[in-house]
Chain A
């Protein structure tokens, strides 16, 4: 039996070796993608374009604006000469946050009378504007109470990500995403391609057993995926200086566990699809797309409505995100991650078993 499995694995590698497109997909594309996405996936509050309508032109107003600009969060994008100007800034997308300082602001502040300010954010752009708004509010509040000590002073420490960089959160996430994409799509295609090319007929007429076929088809992809994972991890380290705080060995081991579940899914797709186009359609729309959005890559699962949450429990990617981010950012080990590992194993074993049962050595 092992003879046949090894023969099959050898054939798969012979095909992979000759497939230039596969080489690009495994070696080049993921590395490019992690670099691209690592740079792009950034929600830090940074250089938010600010629009200012200063009716006061006094010392206090100038100081306030300086506070904004010195915070590092905002850049002065435009000065308004009327309220219409401010509106237009939002309409045209010139600014994301607008500050309107009324006449006599400086005088009222100096005299202790108190003044009012208008602060607005463009909610249409993305939620980053609203975060910027809360930062802006904090700047105003601290400006207002500067020099006077309040009852409490908060000391806030950001753990695991002291500089609050989105990238630290996103890059490990992208690693997980790339792994999923590759394993899911290529596994589903591999078996279906045999169906489409007709070679499956010649294959099932031989003494090769279904389980041997599945194992023989999966093992090459496991190995190739691991190579890809290592490449991406290295790229992330070299380009962004982001490397796992926890054990790399554990990371790779758990990549393996994750891969098993996605390979199982890909296999399952290949048992339902009749040709490659269908296989890709199913993989991408029924698995990849939903998984990307629902597993907590960008959008927190806690925010999702109650009826969606159960669905997320079925997605292997959900658990893997926790694992990857846990190892990268928190240095988590098996002690913290065992629930996720268990879930992944359960999903993987279930899916692979179901696929094995579905896969009969018949044409009908």
Chain B
């Protein structure tokens, strides 16, 4: 009984310790984001890596999401005689919800996993220790540029996803299913408000912070060796993806 309690207590304390370390990691990273020096060159390099290199996958995902929204939405709306609302349906679904969430999930899969693995390898190969011994703060040098780059890249990628998705919806709704072009875009401008767009941007920003926090943390504290890096990468992607969906609910209830 005593041994069981001791094991339970040790497990609980280890979890509390890890939670505390996660919080300290996030707090320190935020503090370093707000205080100079900022490695601008590294930030730009990470914008290229997180943003520019994700564009193709975002364009493809956005196009087909918009297309399938139209394909599903048009017959449903026609059943109630409201096919004119296809444009607002596609636009609002993308701008308020699918754009930010799917962009964040794609960035997690493409860039977040890669960053977790890279940091994990740097931990395994003692490059993080080497940075520390050279007098450089590894968080400031390795993590802060990723967070700042994600804050710059995620909103742009999300807007791009929305625009391409709306065009994908146009291709199917107007060109394939025969809805009037003026109706598709005209109704959209009647229903989509500024707060929808701003809300989507807020979501994108918060997802950017979440992805980098989780993925960089998992990589930074990865166990040594191939198995450790592999586990850290998997945990990073799974945890970030789940948290994006959970956080999406809360941020939606707050913003909209």
Same assembly? no
Mark A residues whose CB is within 8 Å of B.
none
Mark B residues whose CB is within 8 Å of A.
none
